[in-house]
Amino acid sequence: MSDLIRRTAAELADALAAGETSSVELTQAHLDRIAEVDGAVHAFLHVDAEGALAQARAADDRRASGATASALDGVPIAVKDVLTTQGLPTTCGSRILEGWVPPYDATVVARLRAAGLPILGKTNMDEFAMGSSTEHSAYGPTHNPWDLDRIPGGSGGGSAAAVAAFEAPLAIGTDTGGSIRQPGAVTGTVGVKPTYGGVSRYGLVALANSLDQAGPVTRTVLDAALLHELIGGHDPRDSTSIDQPVPALVEAARQGAGGDMSGVRIGVVKELTGEGYQSGVQARFDEAVQLLVEAGAEVVEVSCPSFVHALAAYYLILPAEASSNLAKFDAMRYGLRVLPEGIDDPSAEEVMRATRHAGFGDEVKRRIILGTYALSSGYYDAYYGQAQKVRTLISRDFAAAFEQADVLVSPTAPTTAFKLGEKLDDPLAMYLNDLATIPANLAGVPGISVPSGLAAEDGLPTGLQILAPAMADDRVYRVGAAAEALLTDRWGGPLLGQAPDLTGVTA
Amino acid sequence: MPEITRAEVAHLADLARIELSDAELDHLAPQLAVILDSVAAISDVAAEDVPPTSHALPLTNVFRADVVVPGLTAEQALAGAPEVEGQRFSVPRILGEEA
């Protein structure tokens, strides 16, 4: 195994700048690693070796002529398969888009290309980002690099596993109810959900567009900040994009890494700790908070009483928006078209029914039908309307909490990674995995998950979630970097250094 | 909280334009009932004077300059279509036979 794949993106950028390596060399090192372990991990749905190497050559040529496109020029990246990539298949983990090759790039992808990051390929995900385990991918699950019998989280399990298995130094995920942060927690990686509207959603195939947000998946907080600054900022093609500059995130991460937390008020959310949380998860969380206190932070307990209703509100709002967004998969303009059996000259509607029957998996059908119910006449006010009111209450809870504290903290996920198949037939149990991450999506506030150590009872990774007010993304980076520095110091190295090597694993 | 029956699920699937097999209906109806039961508590959480929030950003009337920019070519737009005829999407008949 090449030593290059163990380095962080920031270290790789430095090595490129110093002329110690080339983009082609390090892109090839990651492609080799993918070839070696991805049969067992299955983080990728499509690998674009040729395209990535061509982009790497262009980066090397640029550097040879004395120019660089960005701080991460030449550092390769993996992209969740929910973002459109011109000339490269985009399936959203669904049969209904099998083989579809988009004619345009998502803004995030266009910005990565402009910044010179070779795109290694597209990562596995729950179908249309619906799930907490990546088991709902139509192309088979991703396996957690810490234990191949366990889930890597979802829906961005592919992106998290690619980064945790050293197949990519960086990845892009999307977070609708926690799909960047929860996979980050259970794979020992860093995941950031930016402020809603802080990163363009143009070209992101919508699940629930009032909640969806693309963001970084990395191995360090600094790497996330470097990536976030590249992809963030206003996009006139997305009408919900915030027309304000991105805060100085890299600077905040560097400042935080110094470890001084004096003057920072940390709010522990009473409703997001204790009952329902695995004891090892809770213990690692308490320990991380204690380290921040020793570094000078002031801790206050805050109460957000409406958070207990967040899960219910989310599982009404999300299916409602999804049922509407997924109406575009109608077998007419792109994707699968299935002709119903036994009908001569079928109508468009009959073709649509047959195609959606064959093209959508169980979880997608479940949520579309739930959303159709929540929006139907007679139930609209009791369910969807009420859920939107709960959203207001949750935003008010956040506003009140942020008067008492600069950031709010909780464990990212209530448990460590569960076994593949364990919750597949129990959607409610699966949904519970998102209870700590969902409030941030409903209110649009930014959040990060930082590795917080291994749970004593099963030796699996846990995550520390840090939330800040909208547009104060720099705060999550500052506190996240401090927690990372303090914890890494305690462990004597990065948490992923303790993960299985995977060299020589077979599928 | 109204029970969700197998017939109701079939009706919803019809509205959502998804064909469901008998096995899927048998499987889905009880699952949806459980999910709905768990979210039902929400119906009396918020008081009447609480305004709904449909979106986290308080945006209204987002405009951009009315500038003509190149879009996809017909060839690009048709590239992923299941069936094409000339420069058009070829689709199954939309109207019933009696029309």
Here the CATH number for the domain that contains residue A74 is: 3.90.1300.10
Average pLDDT over residues A357-371: 97
Which residue range is the domain that position B16 belongs to? 1-41
Determine, yes or no, domain membership for B68: no
Average pLDDT over residues A424-446: 95
**Shortest Cα–Cα distance, B62 to chain A (Å):** 6
Determine, yes or no, domain membership for B55: no
pLDDT-based confidence at A1, cuts 50/70/90?
low
Determine, yes or no, domain membership for A13: yes
pLDDT reading at A424 higher than 50:
yes
Instruction: Say what the pLDDT of residue A133 is.
Output: 98
Across the interface, whether the CB atoms of B76 and A240 are under 8 A apart is answered no
pLDDT reading at A340 higher than 60:
yes
**How many angstroms separate the CA atoms of A308 and B41, rounded?**
11
Query: Across the beta sheet with A298-302, what order do the strands follow?
Result: A44-47, A119-123, A77-80, A170-174, A214-218, A190-193, A447-454, A461-467, A407-411, A265-269, A298-302
Instruction: Please confirm whether the linkage preceding A200 is cis (ω < 30° from 0).
Output: no
Determine, yes or no, domain membership for A343: no
Question: How far is residue A19 CA from its own chain's centroid?
Answer: 32
Determine, yes or no, domain membership for B95: no
pLDDT reading at B98 higher than 80:
no
Chain A residues in contact with B36 by the CB 8 A cut-off are 370, 373
Average pLDDT over residues A282-309: 97
Chain A residues in contact with B38 by the CB 8 A cut-off are 312, 315, 428
More confident residue, B62 or A36: A36
Q: What is the pLDDT of residues A452-467, one digit of tens each?
A: 999 999 999 999 999 9
Residue B28 contacts residue A365 (beta carbons within 8 Å): yes
HSE at residue A150, side-chain half, CA atoms within 13 A, is: 18
Please report, as a single letter, which amino acid is at residue A442: L
Average pLDDT over residues A283-306: 98
**Shortest Cα–Cα distance, B42 to chain A (Å):** 7
Determine, yes or no, domain membership for A441: yes
Determine, yes or no, domain membership for B75: no
Average pLDDT over residues A160-179: 98
Instruction: Say what the pLDDT of residue B57 is.
Output: 87
Instruction: Say what the pLDDT of residue A118 is.
Output: 98
Chain A residues in contact with B41 by the CB 8 A cut-off are 309, 312
Chain B residue closest in CA terms to A103: B76
Structure tokens at A478: 């500052």
**How many angstroms separate the CA atoms of B71 and A245, rounded?**
27
Determine, yes or no, domain membership for A365: no
> In chain B, which among 29-58 make CB contacts under 8 A with chain A?
31-32, 34-36, 38-39, 41-46, 50-57
Number of domains in chain A: 1
Instruction: Classify the complex by whether its ipTM is higher than 0.85, answering yes or no.
Output: yes
Q: What is the pLDDT of residues B78-91, one digit of tens each?
A: 999 999 999 999 99
pLDDT reading at B45 higher than 80:
yes
pLDDT-based confidence at A244, cuts 50/70/90?
very high
Determine, yes or no, domain membership for B6: yes
Which residue range is the domain that position A405 belongs to? 1-306+392-498
Instruction: Say what the pLDDT of residue A377 is.
Output: 87
Instruction: Say what the pLDDT of residue A274 is.
Output: 83
Instruction: Say what the pLDDT of residue B2 is.
Output: 56
Instruction: Say what the pLDDT of residue B94 is.
Output: 87
pLDDT reading at A204 higher than 70:
yes
Which whole-number Å values give the CA distances from A95 to A80, A364, B90, in the listed order? 16, 11, 21
Across the interface, whether the CB atoms of A316 and B42 are under 8 A apart is answered yes
> In chain A, which among 116-145 make CB contacts under 8 A with chain B?
none
- Could you tell me how many helices (H) and strands (E) chain A has, helices first? 16, 11
pLDDT-based confidence at B61, cuts 50/70/90?
confident
pLDDT-based confidence at A26, cuts 50/70/90?
very high
Determine, yes or no, domain membership for A459: yes
Q: What is the mean pLDDT of chain A?
A: 97
Structure tokens at A238: 């997305």
Report the percent of chain A where pLDDT is more than 90.
Answer: 96
Average pLDDT over residues A131-153: 98
Instruction: Say what the pLDDT of residue B64 is.
Output: 84
Determine, yes or no, domain membership for B27: yes
pLDDT reading at A173 higher than 90:
yes
Please report, as a single letter, which amino acid is at residue A192: V
Number of domains in chain B: 1
Mutate: best of B11, B24, B45, B95, partner A, most A CBs <10 A: B45
Residues listed for chain A: 507
Determine, yes or no, domain membership for A387: no
Q: What is the pLDDT of residues A225-235, one digit of tens each?
A: 999 999 999 99
Determine, yes or no, domain membership for A34: yes
Determine, yes or no, domain membership for A117: yes
Dihedral class, residue A453 (left if φ above 0, else alpha if ψ from -120 to 50, else beta) = left
Instruction: Say what the pLDDT of residue B99 is.
Output: 47
Average pLDDT over residues A80-84: 98
pLDDT reading at A435 higher than 60:
yes
Report the percent of chain A where pLDDT is more than 70.
Answer: 100
Contacts of A152 (CB under 8 A, 6+ apart): A43, A133, A134, A142, A143, A144, A145, A158, A160, A161, A164, A183, A186, A187, A417
Across the interface, whether the CB atoms of A392 and B52 are under 8 A apart is answered yes
pLDDT-based confidence at B41, cuts 50/70/90?
confident
Across the interface, whether the CB atoms of A335 and B80 are under 8 A apart is answered yes
pLDDT reading at A200 higher than 80:
yes
- State the CATH number of the domain containing residue B8: 1.10.20
pLDDT-based confidence at B96, cuts 50/70/90?
low
